Amino acid sequence: MCMDVHSQFLKYIRNKCIELNHPMNTMLLGNDNDVLRQLFLNYREHCGVSKGLRLSNIGLMFAKLNFDNWTINLDGNFKVRPKHVIFLDRYSTMPYHLFGTDLILFDKQFALTLKLIGDLDAFIEMELENKPSLKNKRA
């Protein structure tokens, strides 16, 4: 059976926190769905498929302790809009954190591509032109 990103993430950080005797490991001992809702802001499950990879502040803390990450500083005038969250929710295959003008990615390829383009809105437009199916894909 193939584990989804959420299950793999939770299993890994649980094991790591227990191994390191991290003071927050008791938070991770609850029901999987309850813990995942604390780690991911937009976590949801529908028909057995889990979705939503936007990390909460707590999820970000655990992720940064355990995984390589790349911070993309977005334009100082950048404002998070629903289109950004919807796009990242559909496009991302790994967890991410979006707050203010910082986008923290745990996907090296995605981070490199976005860094080269330099603008999240331009990246979204480029991807929608190249992959029209993203326009109609349901989250």
25-71 pLDDT per residue, tens: 777 888 888 999 999 998 988 888 888 999 999 999 989 988 999 99
Q: At 107, give phi and psi (nearest 5°).
A: -120, 110
**What is the pLDDT averaged over residues 9-14?**
90
Summarised one tens digit per residue, pLDDT across range 62-79 is 899 889 999 998 887 888
Higher pLDDT pick, 22 / 109? 109
The domain ranges of the chain are 1-55, 68-139
* E-strand stretches of the chain: 44-46, 49-51, 70-73, 96-99, 102-105
Rounded percentage of the chain residues whose pLDDT exceeds 90: 33
Q: Grade residue 91 by pLDDT with cuts at 50, 70 and 90.
A: confident
